[in-house]
Structure 1
C-alpha cells in the first residue's frame, strides 16, 4: 500500500484562531495534513508563540504563502485579506477564508478562482445548519433572516459605529445598532458578520439576506438566531458561540477549520 502525499497547509495570520489551528496541526490531530508555512506581520511574536516556526515550519510573505502549500487558511484582519486571497487563487490553490465578509466586497475572486482552477472553501464556523441552508437553496428560498447579539466589547471599533459616532460604552440594556442586508452589514461590520456573510453565500445571496445586529450587555456569548423559509422546509436555529481571546470571534471557528481540513483527506465525510 502506498502512502498518500500529505496535504500541505499554510496559515495567513496567527491571531487567536490562526494560532489555535496551527497548534492543532502541529500536534498531528489530522493524519495526512501538515502545517508547512505561515505568513505573519510580527515574526518574533509568532516565534515566541510557536517555537517550531522558522525551523520545521517556514515563514513566507503573504504573496508567497501558496508557493509550497496546497491549502491556505486566511486568519487575517480584513485589510490584508485581498493580498493573500489573490496570491493563493492565482496559483490555483484551495483558499479557505475566515474573513468571509470580504468575499462580499471582493466578488471578483470567485470568477478569478474559476479562471485559475482554484477553489474557495468557506468553513462552517459558528453557523450551525449551514448544510441545511445549502440544501434549501437547491429549491426555492423565500426569506432568510439573522439576528445577531454580541457583548458591546465585541462590536467596538466597527466602521458603521465610528462613522456615526455611536458609543457603546456603559450600555446597560440591549440596543439594536444595525438593520439591513448582509452586504450592508459586511461593509459596516467587516470583523463581526462573517457568519451572516457565509449564510448569505449558502442561501439567497447578500442582498436578500436580512440582518439585525444588537449590542447586548446581558449576553456573554455571540448569539445568532437564523430563520429560513423555503419550499422544502422552515428552519429556525439559535447558536451561542463562546468568544475566543478575540471577542469578535468565537471559539468554534478553529475547530471548524480543522473539521474542514479533515474532510479534505478523510475516507468518510459526513455532511455536504
Structure 2
C-alpha cells in the first residue's frame, strides 16, 4: 500500500490579463504542483481567447462575478476599482482571493469582515517590496516607526491622480523631484496604480496612517527603487530594492514572481518564510 496521499488540485482563476496576469497564465500552464488554471476574466474576451491560444486544457473565459464558480483561488490582476467586484463573490463562497491592488483594501476593509464571516481569505503578496516577513514579525511586538522612500522613473508616475489634481507636471523634469510626502493612506489615494507596495508595508506593520512615505520622480532612473526604514523594540532595519519594470512602467517584473511564490507555497511540502 502506498504511503502517498492524493492531493486534490486547487483550481486557479485570474482576473485581468495584463503584464502580470499573462505571466501567471504562462507559468501555470507550465505547471505548479497542486494547482491548475481553470478560468480567466478579462474585459476583452476575444483578446483573452487569443492570449490563451496554445494553453493546455480548457480555460473558461468568464465575467469576474463568475470566477468564484470556476476556481478555489482567484488572483486579482485588474484595475483597483474592480477589487470589490472580484473579491466579494470569492469570499462569500469561503474561498481565497490574492489581491495585488491592495491599496483598494483601505477603503474596503469590510472585505476582511466578509472573509471572516464566510471562512474565506485575502492574501496580499509581497509584490515589489521586500522584508515584509521582518515587518510582520516586528509587529508582534512594538514598531515605533516605518518610513519609506520611493524613487521612480518619470514615465511610471505620469498621470497619477495626485499629480493631475495638483497640476504638477513632471514630464520635463531634468533632476530628481520630490512630488509627495505623507502617509500610506494618502499615497494610496493619490497614486493608486503605483504605490500598492506601501499599502502592503502598512498592512504588515503599523497601519496606513502611521506609515510615512516620500515619492521622488527621477529622470535618470530606469528601475523603481524602494527604501524602507523600520524601528521597533525587536530590531531596527533598513531595506533597499530596485525593481525592473515590465512593459507596463507602473509594474515591476517581480510582482508576478511574488504571486508565483505565494502559489507554490500553497501546496509545497517545504515552506520557507513566515
User: What do residues 199-221 of structure 1 show as CA deviations (whole Å, max 9, x unaligned)?
Assistant: 00000000000011111111110
The alignment status of 1:7 with 2:10, answered yes or no, reads yes
> What is the root-mean-square deviation of aligned Cα atoms in Å?
1.2
| Residue 149 of structure 2: aligned partner | 147
| Residue 173 of structure 2: aligned partner | 171
State how far apart, in whole Å, the 2-side matches of 1:83 and 1:54 are: 28
Please tell me whether the aligned partners of residues 175 and 215 of structure 1 are also in contact (alpha carbons under 8 angstroms): yes
Unmatched tracts of structure 2, length 5 or more: none
Aligned pairs (5 A) from 1:79-118: 79-118=81-120
Give 1:156 deviation, angstroms: 1.2
Q: TM-score, normalised by structure 2?
A: 0.96
2:270 to 258, 268, 271: 268
| Residue 26 of structure 1: aligned partner | 29
| Residue 215 of structure 1: aligned partner | 217
State how far apart, in whole Å, the 1-side matches of 2:158 and 2:194 are: 10
Give 1:111 deviation, angstroms: 1.2
Please state whether the residue corresponding to 2:212 is helix, strand or coil: strand
Please state whether the residue corresponding to 1:59 is helix, strand or coil: strand
User: What do residues 227-261 of structure 1 show as CA deviations (whole Å, max 9, x unaligned)?
Assistant: 00000100101010000111111000111111101
Please tell me whether the aligned partners of residues 47 and 53 of structure 1 are also in contact (alpha carbons under 8 angstroms): no
State how far apart, in whole Å, the 2-side matches of 1:45 and 1:221 are: 29
Please tell me whether the aligned partners of residues 29 and 56 of structure 2 are also in contact (alpha carbons under 8 angstroms): no
Please state whether the residue corresponding to 1:73 is helix, strand or coil: strand
Please state whether the residue corresponding to 2:200 is helix, strand or coil: helix
Give 1:11 deviation, angstroms: 0.3
Unmatched tracts of structure 1, length 5 or more: none
Q: TM-score, normalised by structure 1?
A: 0.97
Give 1:53 deviation, angstroms: 6.7
**Which 4+ runs in 1 deviate beyond 2 A?**
52-55
State how far apart, in whole Å, the 2-side matches of 1:90 and 1:167 are: 43
1:227 to 206, 212, 229: 229
What is the total number of aligned residue pairs between the two structures?
Answer: 271
Give 1:2 deviation, angstroms: 3.8
